[in-house]
Amino acid sequence: MNARHIFIEYTQAIDRGDISAAAALVHDSFRLEGAGLDGIGKAEFVAAMKAQLEAFPDYSENPTDIREEGDKVYFVAHVSGTQKHTLTLPGMSPLGATGRSIHLPPEPAWVQVRDSRILIYHVDEVAGGGVKGILSQLGWSWG
């Protein structure tokens, strides 16, 4: 499977709230670059995504401008969702359900695929984006 196909499968799994299917598409040597959780590996990433999917049943990265170049897929993420349940990100105090919708600003990003799984997920830092943006839109401050 090509890199674009892997990325689309991952995105569809996230949109369905299927963390098991999404996790199966993440490489064991995975690393996240940016999004406020820079440098975390597969276990931490899957835990963070699980927490977001549980808190935001309609969570989506809404990728646009998807283009494949070799083993990388470039796109713009437009993260959105409505917090209907407690958000319990690893290492943070639980944030009770607010009922608020989030709509992060467009975040240029790319993934690199190796062995039919996502090896690197890179998100450019954008004001109001990443985990800080999510927390801010929920009325919480970072830190």
What contacts 56, CB < 8 A, 6 or more positions away? 81, 82, 83, 84, 87, 102
**Residue 92: its pLDDT value, please?**
83
As beta bridge partners, residue 31 has 120
- Between 91 and 142, name the one with better pLDDT: 91
Total-model pTM: 0.93
Question: Any idea what DSSP says for residue 71?
Answer: T
Reported confidence tier of residue 142, pLDDT bands at 50, 70, 90: low
Per-residue pLDDT of 94-136, as tens digits, reads 999 999 999 999 999 999 999 999 999 999 999 999 989 999 9
The answer on pLDDT for 143 being more than 60 is no
Which percentage of the chain shows pLDDT scores above 90? 86
Return the CATH fold of 3-137.
Nuclear Transport Factor 2; Chain: A, (3.10.450)
**Residue 18: its pLDDT value, please?**
97
As beta bridge partners, residue 120 has 31, 112
3-state class percentages of the chain: helix first, strand second, coil last, to nearest 5: 30, 30, 40
Per-residue pLDDT of 65-91, as tens digits, reads 999 999 999 999 999 999 999 999 878
Ordered by start, the domain boundaries in the chain are 3-137
